[in-house]
């Protein structure tokens, strides 16, 4: 896809999300006559996605607040739209992994499904209710739902591209039980189980030399 085609595609995706998820006045503020300018950054992003449990373990608002705090401290961009999962984009895969593992630790009792998806996408910044917020756009983000469906509760699931970017260079991986998944001979995903906190159940990790 050329730069011009990508720009047009992401603008259309941004327009569609605004029209679907926000009041009509917000769409008009960005695409109507005399509209304000938004900022779109197209890049390869590592996106942390976290489920919103249906069984009361944590509310969607609680998950989003926890992810927002982690994103703010790591130059991440929290998606402001209503979604079935909470999303935050990071420019660096290692920053996304650290945020995902920190989210897993801080919400350990809820045993959330958490994933990190590395894809080409757009991050659009715009004004809404007096603040600058962002939306993540692009069909590639549809992979987040599939990644979360595959995840076991309490684990962090990486797509193959995320793992390839981190393998051999991320000390955080060394502190996890790493379980790769394959389709024939092709790596499709990697499941990470972080080592338990001191004093918690440790036998699986101790037997592997990880605790």
Q: Which residue has the higher pLDDT, 203 or 75?
A: 75
210 pLDDT more than 80: no
- Predicted pLDDT at 198: 61
Distance CA 25, CA 70 (A): 30
- Predicted pLDDT at 162: 97
- Predicted pLDDT at 205: 45
Q: Summarize the confidence of residues 70-95 as an average pLDDT.
A: 94
Helix/strand/coil for 64: helix
Domains of the chain: 37-207 (3.30.70.1230)
Q: Summarize the confidence of residues 48-56 as an average pLDDT.
A: 86
For the chain, give the percent of residues with pLDDT over 90: 66
Lowest-confidence region among 76-90, 93-107, 128-142, 186-200: 186-200
DSSP string, 122-154: EEEEEEETTEEEEEEE-GGGGHHHHHHHHSPTT
- Predicted pLDDT at 208: 44
- Relative orientation angle of helices 93-106 and 60-72, to the nearest 10 degrees: 140
């Amino acid at each position: 896809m050329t730069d011009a085609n990508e720009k047009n595609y992401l603008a259309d995706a941004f327009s569609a999300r605004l029209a679907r998820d926000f009041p009509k006045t917000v769409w008009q503020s960005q695409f109507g006559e005399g509209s304000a300018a938004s900022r779109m950054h197209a890049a390869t992003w590592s996106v942390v996605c976290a489920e919103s449990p249906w069984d009361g373990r944590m509310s969607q608002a609680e998950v989003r607040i926890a992810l927002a705090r982690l994103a703010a401290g790591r130059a991440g961009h929290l998606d402001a739209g209503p979604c079935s999962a909470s999303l935050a984009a990071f420019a660096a895969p290692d920053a996304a992994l650290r945020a995902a593992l920190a989210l897993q630790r801080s919400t350990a009792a809820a045993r959330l499904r958490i994933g990190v998806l590395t894809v080409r996408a757009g991050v659009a910044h715009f004004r809404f209710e007096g603040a600058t917020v962002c939306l993540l756009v692009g069909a590639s983000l549809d992979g987040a739902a599939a990644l979360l469906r595959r995840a076991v509760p309490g684990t962090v699931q990486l797509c193959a591209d995320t793992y390839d970017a981190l393998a051999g260079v991320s000390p955080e991986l060394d502190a996890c039980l790493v379980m790769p998944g394959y389709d024939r001979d092709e790596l499709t995903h990697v499941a990470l189980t972080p080592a338990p906190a001191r004093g918690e159940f440790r036998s699986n990790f101790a037997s592997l030399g990880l605790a």
